[in-house]
C-alpha cells in the first residue's frame, strides 16, 4: 500500500497539524513532525528505502534536524512504524502504512471541515457585527 | 366589485409589502456583513425585491381589471413577466456563490439563466397569451408550450435542485444550530415562494391562483422568520457562569 497519489506539501501539513492542535490534539495528527515523517516514509512505500535526507526535504521548513531525529527514534522506530535498514535509511512497515492511511483520512476530514467553514462564511448572517 | 378579485388583490398587496419590507430590512444589515457574505446578501435582497416587483405588476393588473381596462391588464401582465423570469437569476447566484465562493462562476451561471429567461419571454410574446375572466381576476395562459417547457426545465428544475442540494449538505453537517436554522429556513422559504410563483403562472383557475399566492405570502413570512426568529424560537446558548471560590466542582479537581 503506497500513498503515491497523496502529495506532501509542508505548508498544507502544517495547516492541518495546527487545526488538530487547536482541537487539543497535540500528538499524532496534530504533530507536524510526526505527520511529515510518516507521510514521507509512506510516499516511498514498503519496498523502497526512505533516507533521512528525503524526510528532511519536507521537514526542514518546520523543524530542525535534532527534533526530526528524536521523533524518529522515540516514536517511529520505537512503535514499529518503520525499521532502520542502514545508517540514515528506513523502510516503512505495515503498521506505518496504517498510520499513514489514518493521517490521509485526517487530511480529508480537515478539508471537509474547511469547506464547510468557508461555505458558512459566505452565508449572510444578521448575527454578525 | 367581485369579492374574489378583492381577495386576490389583498393577497398580492400583502406579498408586495412583505417582500419589499424584508428586502429593505436586509439592506440595513449590509454593513454588518463581511466581504465574503456581502455578495450573497445582495443576491438575497435582489431576489425578494423581484418577488415584490412581480406581484406589484400583478396587483396593478388586478386593479386595471377591476376598473374594466382589460387591454392595459394584458400589457401590464407582459411587463410583469420580466421580473418573473429574472427571479431565478439572483437565486442561482446566491446558491452558486455560497458553494463556490467565486463571483465570476456565479455571474456566468446566472447569465445562462438570464438567457433562458430571454428565450421564455421571446416565445411568450411571440405566441401571446389567452385570457380567462374569472370572479377572482384575469387568468393568463401562455399559448406556447415551448415557453412553459423552457421555464420549467431551464428556470425551475435546476435552481430547485440546487436549493435542495445545498439544504441537504448543511443539514447533515456539524454546524451551529443557529446557522443551520437560518440557512435551511431561508432556502425552504425561497423554494416555497419559487414553487408557488410557478404554479401561479401555469394554473388556469382563479381559486388555485389565489391559493398559490397565499402560499407565496407564507413563504415570504418564513424567509423573514429565518433572519428574525420569534423569541420562543431563539436558540438558547448555554449559560456560562464565572468561576468563583468555593466552587465544589473545581475543588474536586
pLDDT 10s digits, B47-89: 999 999 999 999 998 888 888 887 788 888 889 999 998 998 9
Q: Determine the average pLDDT of the residues in B191-208.
A: 86
* Å between A114 CA and nearest CA of chain B: 12
Give the closest of A122, A127, A129 to B98, CB-based. Answer: A122
Q: What is the dihedral of CA B42, B44, B49, B51, to 10 degrees?
A: 160
pLDDT at A2: 46
* b/e map B149-175, b = 16+ CB within 10 Å: ebbeebbbebbbebbeebbeebeeeeb
Higher-confidence position of B123 and B253: B123
Higher-confidence position of B49 and B140: B49
Higher-confidence position of B29 and B56: B56
pLDDT at A129: 40
- Is B22 within 8 Å of B76 (Cβ atoms)? no
| Per-residue CA distances from B73 to B49, B59, B122, B198 (Å) | 22, 10, 19, 20
Question: A123 vs B26: CB contact, 8 Å cut-off?
Answer: no
User: Would you say residue B231 has pLDDT above 80?
Assistant: no
User: Would you say residue B232 has pLDDT above 70?
Assistant: no
pLDDT digits over A95-125, tens only?
999 999 999 999 999 999 999 889 888 988 7
Residue to mutate among A23, A122, A127, A128, with most B CBs inside 10 A, is A122
Question: A123 vs B183: CB contact, 8 Å cut-off?
Answer: yes
Give the closest of B40, B98, B227 to A126, CB-based. Answer: B227
Q: Determine the average pLDDT of the residues in B186-205.
A: 87
Closest chain A residue by Cα to residue B43: A124
Give the closest of B33, B183, B228 to A128, CB-based. Answer: B33
DSSP code at position B239: P
Question: B179 vs A125: CB contact, 8 Å cut-off?
Answer: yes
pLDDT at B148: 83
- Is A95 within 8 Å of A81 (Cβ atoms)? yes
User: Would you say residue B167 has pLDDT above 50?
Assistant: yes
Q: B131: helix, coil or strand?
A: strand
| Per-residue CA distances from A123 to A95, B18, B144 (Å) | 43, 22, 38
What residues of B are in the A interface, CB distance below 8 Å?
A: 26, 29, 31-34, 36-41, 44, 97-99, 101, 169-170, 173-175, 178-179, 182-183, 227-228
Quote the Cα angle for B35-B37-B38, to 5°: 65
Q: Which residues between 78 and 117 in chain A have a beta carbon less than 8 angstroms from any beta carbon of chain B?
A: 116
Question: B179 vs A128: CB contact, 8 Å cut-off?
Answer: no
Question: B175 vs A116: CB contact, 8 Å cut-off?
Answer: yes
Higher-confidence position of A96 and B129: A96
Helix, strand, coil fractions of chain A, as percent rounded to 5:
60, 10, 30
Residue to mutate among A117, A124, A127, A128, with most B CBs inside 10 A, is A124
* Å between B149 CA and nearest CA of chain A: 32
Q: What is the mean pLDDT of chain B?
A: 85
What does the longest C-alpha to C-alpha distance in chain A come to?
62
Closest chain A residue by Cα to residue B102: A122
User: Would you say residue B203 has pLDDT above 70?
Assistant: yes
User: Would you say residue B236 has pLDDT above 70?
Assistant: no
Closest chain B residue by Cα to residue A119: B98
Closest chain A residue by Cα to residue B176: A120
pLDDT digits over A18-69, tens only?
999 999 999 999 999 999 999 999 999 889 999 999 999 999 999 998 999 9
Q: Cα–Cα distance between B100 and B52 in angstroms, integer?
A: 28
pLDDT at A25: 96
pLDDT at A3: 47
ipTM over 0.90: no
Read off the pTM: 0.81
Question: B183 vs A122: CB contact, 8 Å cut-off?
Answer: no
- Is A82 within 8 Å of A41 (Cβ atoms)? yes
Nearest to A91 by CA among A51, A127, A119: A51
Q: B37: helix, coil or strand?
A: coil
Q: Determine the average pLDDT of the residues in B160-185.
A: 86
pLDDT at B238: 53
* Å between B99 CA and nearest CA of chain A: 6
User: Would you say residue B251 has pLDDT above 60?
Assistant: no
User: Would you say residue B252 has pLDDT above 60?
Assistant: no
- Is B167 within 8 Å of B179 (Cβ atoms)? no
Closest chain B residue by Cα to residue A117: B175
Highest mean pLDDT among A91-100, B217-226, B230-239: A91-100
Q: Determine the average pLDDT of the residues in B104-120.
A: 91
Min mean pLDDT across A108-112, B34-38, B105-109, B215-219 is at B34-38
Helix, strand, coil fractions of chain B, as percent rounded to 5:
75, 5, 20
Q: What is the mean pLDDT of chain A?
A: 90
B10's grid cell: 389583498
Q: Determine the average pLDDT of the residues in B28-57.
A: 92
Amino acid at each position: 500500500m503506497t500513498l503515491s497519489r497523496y502529495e506532501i506539501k509542508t505548508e498544507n501539513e502544517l495547516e492541518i497539524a495546527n487545526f488538530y492542535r487547536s482541537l487539543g490534539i497535540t500528538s499524532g495528527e496534530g504533530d507536524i513532525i510526526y505527520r511529515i515523517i510518516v507521510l514521507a516514509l509512506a510516499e516511498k512505500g514498503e519496498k523502497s528505502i526512505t533516507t533521512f535526507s528525503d524526510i528532511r526535504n519536507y521537514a526542514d521548513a518546520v523543524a530542525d534536524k535534532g527534533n526530526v531525529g528524536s521523533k524518529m527514534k522515540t516514536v517511529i522506530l520505537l512503535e514499529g512504524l518503520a525499521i532502520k535498514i542502514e545508517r540514515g535509511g528506513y523502510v516503512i512497515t505495515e503498521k506505518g502504512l496504517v498510520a499513514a492511511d489514518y493521517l490521509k483520512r485526517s487530511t480529508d476530514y480537515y478539508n471537509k471541515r474547511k469547506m464547510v467553514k468557508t461555505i458558512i462564511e459566505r452565508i449572510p448572517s444578521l448575527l454578525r457585527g | 366589485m367581485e369579492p374574489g378579485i378583492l381577495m386576490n388583490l389583498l393577497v398580492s398587496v400583502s406579498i408586495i409589502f412583505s417582500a419589499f419590507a424584508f428586502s429593505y430590512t436586509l439592506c440595513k444589515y449590509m454593513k454588518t456583513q463581511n466581504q465574503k457574505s456581502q455578495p450573497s446578501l445582495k443576491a438575497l435582497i435582489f431576489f425578494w425585491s423581484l418577488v415584490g416587483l412581480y406581484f406589484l405588476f400583478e396587483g396593478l393588473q388586478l386593479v386595471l381589471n377591476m376598473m374594466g381596462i382589460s387591454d392595459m391588464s394584458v400589457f401590464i401582465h407582459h411587463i410583469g413577466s420580466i421580473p418573473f423570469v429574472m427571479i431565478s437569476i439572483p437565486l442561482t447566484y446566491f446558491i452558486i456563490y455560497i458553494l463556490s465562493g467565486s463571483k465570476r462562476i456565479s455571474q456566468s451561471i446566472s447569465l445562462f439563466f438570464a438567457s433562458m429567461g430571454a428565450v421564455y419571454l421571446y416565445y411568450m410574446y411571440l405566441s401571446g397569451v389567452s385570457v380567462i375572466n374569472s370572479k377572482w381576476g384575469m387568468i393568463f395562459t401562455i399559448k406556447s408550450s415551448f415557453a412553459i417547457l423552457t421555464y420549467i426545465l431551464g428556470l425551475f428544475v435546476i435552481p430547485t435542485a440546487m436549493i435542495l442540494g445545498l439544504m441537504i449538505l448543511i443539514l447533515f453537517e456539524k454546524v451551529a444550530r443557529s446557522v443551520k436554522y437560518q440557512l435551511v429556513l431561508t432556502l425552504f422559504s425561497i423554494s416555497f415562494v419559487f414553487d408557488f410563483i410557478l404554479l401561479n403562472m401555469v394554473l388556469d383557475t382563479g381559486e388555485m391562483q389565489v391559493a398559490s399566492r397565499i402560499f407565496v405570502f407564507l413563504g415570504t413570512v418564513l424567509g423573514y422568520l429565518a433572519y428574525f426568529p420569534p423569541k420562543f424560537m431563539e436558540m438558547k446558548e448555554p449559560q456560562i457562569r464565572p468561576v468563583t471560590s468555593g466552587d465544589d466542582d473545581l475543588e474536586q479537581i
